[in-house]
Structure 1
């Protein structure tokens, strides 16, 4: 399917087209238009049965990538304020309705609205062993002689880290590259059950090599074994003869 004809589906659990009040549906649709931010490039296609699934088709070339990027950051503290506010308003409405929702493109879920599960868990913090893996984009020495480090994690908020001075040469060498920092940190469990690393006091750093699955398999195959051919067969035969 060409990009300018891709469909985006907003699915609400627990409702059907026959049970959701029309006035409530229009409220959701109004906030969805604000959330998408590119509503003029979208067309309403259909309302699916069994659940409330609002299907929209993107008709403007290039609009899908803009909308997808906006949706993926709508539930992030680093996202734009307008889509984040729309996300929060929609989520509050879902809490009021006692349900949840998600936005999908094809088989992939782009954005989840926890809705009724928001208050299911209490937030709390705990300290323990921690690891931050991602793109090292910030490295500054602070007034205490330590290093302030920022790691952009994949699909997670940026990790704020402190590293000792003796790691500075290695961190400088790995700046703007993928790294893994290990140490102790503070974790927070959010309302929806996700664990977020708030801070990390690093004691070790190692580079992360981006290796594809195929490359990893080839490397495993290239490992030379010190065993002789048919060593297991030979030992078994020897045992049987005793």
Structure 2
């Protein structure tokens, strides 16, 4: 069978990169695709590439039409198990969404949902420190992705004028200040950044942010396992 006789697909996981996507999470996303395409031969995982984190796989020969039918059916099925399970993974992993492409053509997308019933939202001026690893967009609202010391990718937005000033600092450590919206699911007891509009930024030294946080973690702390550090920080900033 000729290798060129294949159709390529990409599941793009938003809010992470190949460097920040743990193998355990990668395996779970691929497992959902595998379950959807179960029983089909000539379906092969190929690679993980940048562009958030792009999980690339290919389908060859007689399996191509059947695979496409199953993948496309997800888009029109409001009760799709595949979408539901991927949405749960996005929520548990802190990723903002997933988009499936056939080549460069979009097939379907899934976005993370919160349990609104148990959610607390805080809007305030805040700061994020990390490595700027992506900056792009063709509209007035430019997207910036910052990798924090916890290896999580934080999605932010800013205007074109500020993006031009920020461009020389791509792949360096920065601190951004802006309007943030944090959401906390009371059931999971976890704060997640749901929106951040950058208003200003400051370049940081080349010292590793992970090293800085590691040093801070060695300092004596008054917080106990039953306390709420994030809540204490919010109170202290008011």
- TM-score scaled by length of structure 1: 0.41
- TM-score scaled by length of structure 2: 0.42
Which structure carries more strand by proportion? 2
